[in-house]
Chain A
Amino acid sequence: MQVQNEMKLQMESRSVNEAYARVAVSAFAASLDPTVEELNDIKTAVSEAVTNCIVHAYKNAVGKIYITVKIFENGEVQITVRDRGCGIADIKKAREPLFTTLGGDRAGLGFSVMESFCDRIFVRSAVGKGTTVTLRKRIRGKGAGVDA
Chain B
Amino acid sequence: MRIGLIVNPVAGLGGAVGLKGTDGPDTVAEALRRGANPQAGARTRLALERLAARCPGADLSVAPGPLGADWAEGSPLTLDIAHMPAASGTGRDTQLAVEAMRDASLIVFAGGDGTARDVAAALPEGAAMLGIPCGVKMHSGVFAVSPGAAGALLADLVSAPDRIAWNDAAEVMDIDEDALRAGVLAPRLYGLARVPVARRLMQASKGGPRMDSAEALTAAAQEVAHNMTPGTLYIIGPGTSAGAVMRAAGHAPTTLGTDALLDGAVVARDARASELEALASDRPVRIVLGVTGQQGFLLGRGNQQISPALIARAGREGLIVLATEEKLASLAQPRLWVDTGVPDLDTALSGYIRVRTGAGRLTMMRVGAS
Decide whether A and B assemble into one complex: no
